[in-house]
Chain A
Amino acid sequence: DGGITQSPKYLFRKEGQNVTLSCEQNLNHDAMYWYRQDPGQGLRLIYYSQIVNDFQKGDIAEGYSVSREKKESFPLTVTSAQKNPTAFYLCASSWGGKTGNTIYFGEGSWLTVV
């Protein structure tokens, strides 16, 4: 099946630890995104990448890092500098391009700090 796979679905992190959320897509999409969603809140953009080996900060990039070494992969690292990381994290992808394209979302990863 084509789609976006996020793992793990649930993750617990101790304070002071870095954790990495995986995101893989087999849709051959150029653009990939990471969003954070807090309970009852909207989607806030963390990072996005329009092409391999290039990415830009979104609105809440502090305390997060990403890489885009392969077209199909866009892992997100939540560092210890992120003071309030407990949230639902959504990875997404699209064809990119000027006219705007449908964004396809993964099923999300729940991160809880313990």
Chain B
Amino acid sequence: GQQVMQIPQYQHVQEGEDFTTYCNSSTTLSNIQWYKQRPGGHPVFLIQLVKSGEVKKQKRLTFQFGEAKKNSSLHITATQTTDVGTYFCAAITTSGTYKYIFGTGTRLKVLA
């Protein structure tokens, strides 16, 4: 089936450093969502991107959707310890089934 790959799988950063995770699909996506899962918790919705080339910002977080709608990125500026967790992208396929395909996730650790 369709796969959505995320890189890197893990990232350790010093507090204050920037962080980026990338999400790549082999097929064109209808839209893409990003979720954050704190350790021991459940995923929580962050944002949805729909348009080709779309860029959205939430405070220190910047989300981009690629021009070809096959990739996306999440960038965090000046990480804080509260950013710790696993970040997942979730892709909506264009196949007509409208099921969500979750990426493999990027686990972020922030060292104080």
**A contact residues around B31 at 8 Å (CB):** 99-100
Given A102-B33, A103-B33, A103-B90, A96:B42 Cβ within 8 A: no
Count residues on chain A whose CB falls below 8 Å from chain B CBs.
28
Interchain CB contact under 8 A, B98 and A108: no
Count residues on chain B whose CB falls below 8 Å from chain A CBs.
26
Mask for A43-54, Cβ within 8 A of B = 1, else 0? 111001010000
One of B11-19, B55-63, B65-73, B102-110 at the interface = B102-110
**A contact residues around B78 at 8 Å (CB):** none
Q: Which chain A residue lies CB-closest to B5?
A: A42
The complex places the Cα of A47 from the Cα of B98 at a distance, in Å, of: 13
State which of A41, A43, A59, A100 has its C-beta within 8 Å of the C-beta of B1: A59
B83 to chain A, nearest CB (A): 18
Interchain CB contact under 8 A, A105 and B48: no
The complex places the Cα of A42 from the Cα of B92 at a distance, in Å, of: 16
Interchain CB contact under 8 A, A105 and B42: yes
Mask for A89-108, Cβ within 8 A of B = 1, else 0? 01000101111101111111
B19 to chain A, nearest CB (A): 18
- On A, residues with C-beta under 8 Å from B are 31, 33, 35, 40-45, 48, 50, 56, 58-59, 90, 94, 96-100, 102-108
Identify 17 residue pairs between A and B in the complex whose beta-carbon atoms are under 8 Å apart, listed by A's number: A33-B99, A40-B107, A45-B99, A45-B101, A48-B99, A59-B1, A94-B100, A96-B98, A98-B98, A100-B33, A100-B48, A103-B33, A103-B43, A103-B90, A105-B42, A105-B44, A107-B41
